[in-house]
Amino acid sequence: MTEPVLYSFRRCPYAMRARLALLASGTRVQLREVVLKDKPAALLAASPKGTVPVMVLAGGEVIDQSLNIMLKVLRDHDPLMWLPTTEDALARSLNLIARCDGEFKPHLDRYKYPHRFNLIDGLENRAQGAIFLIAINEVLSVQDFLHGPHWGLADAAIAPFVRQFAHTDAVWFSAQPWNGLQGWLQAFEASETFARCMQKMPAWREGDALTWFPAS
């Protein structure tokens, strides 16, 4: 095995952020699309927690955190300059991503899937999640990207989660006074990079022919 293996699920925002970084870095992987209700033994052997994404490097090293996959491939090759160039800037990006993952994501889950948490609805969590969105809208009202002058690490790490939140109730999201955030998300969803990231892949089974990502 020369190219890494990536276990992925097309609609998972964590897996999406990893695939976005693969595209930006020009990293080619053997992609194994996972059916979450029928996880392959090879995935569980690599990472017993069974979540995606999981990257298995050529030497056998396993990376099973999406942000770590992003940092690994971008530190190896970063032609689009997605990584901040100073320690302070990197710390700011990582702090913003940590807020997304630690503060925003739990509210997103409860807003999108209230029945999983024995909630009547997710409206209170929508209001709590909106606090994070208001904060990043303020940033995007004065600059085009969270990274700064162009799309970068923070944008790619956060956009898949904002997209999921927005699509939970698109009418409500569109009615909010978040022009910066809405324009940023619309540009992401209209991009060629997003289209390539979201290309449909067949579910993987042991013994299947290799599926490459990017496909070309």
pTM over 0.85: yes
Number of domains in the chain: 2
Quick one: 132 and 181 in the same domain?
A: yes
Contacts of 165 (CB under 8 A, 6+ apart): 104, 108, 111, 112, 129, 133, 173
Q: What pLDDT is stored for residue 216 in this prediction?
A: 73
User: What does the mean pLDDT of the chain come to?
Assistant: 97
Q: What pLDDT is stored for residue 2 in this prediction?
A: 81
Quick one: 140 and 64 in the same domain?
A: no
Q: Are 21 and 70 in contact (CB under 8 A)?
A: yes
Quick one: 126 and 178 in the same domain?
A: yes
- Per-residue pLDDT tens digits for 40-98: 999 999 999 999 999 999 999 999 999 999 999 999 999 999 999 999 999 999 999 99
- Per-residue pLDDT tens digits for 152-168: 999 999 999 999 999 99
Domain that residue 55 falls in: 5-80+197-213
Quick one: 55 and 75 in the same domain?
A: yes
Mean pLDDT of 31-36: 95
CATH code of the domain covering residue 34: 3.40.30.10
* Residue-wise DSSP of 81-126: --S-SSHHHHHHHHHHHHHIIIIIHHHHHHHH-GGGGT-S-SHHHH
Give me the long-range contacts of 132-135 (CB less than 8 A, separation at least 24). Answer: 132/99, 132/100, 132/103, 132/104, 132/107, 133/104, 133/162, 133/165, 133/176, 133/178, 133/181, 134/178, 135/99
Q: Is pLDDT of 1 > 70?
A: no
Largest CA distance in the chain: 51
Quick one: 91 and 176 in the same domain?
A: yes
Mean pLDDT of 181-193: 98
- Per-residue pLDDT tens digits for 2-27: 899 999 999 999 999 999 999 999 99
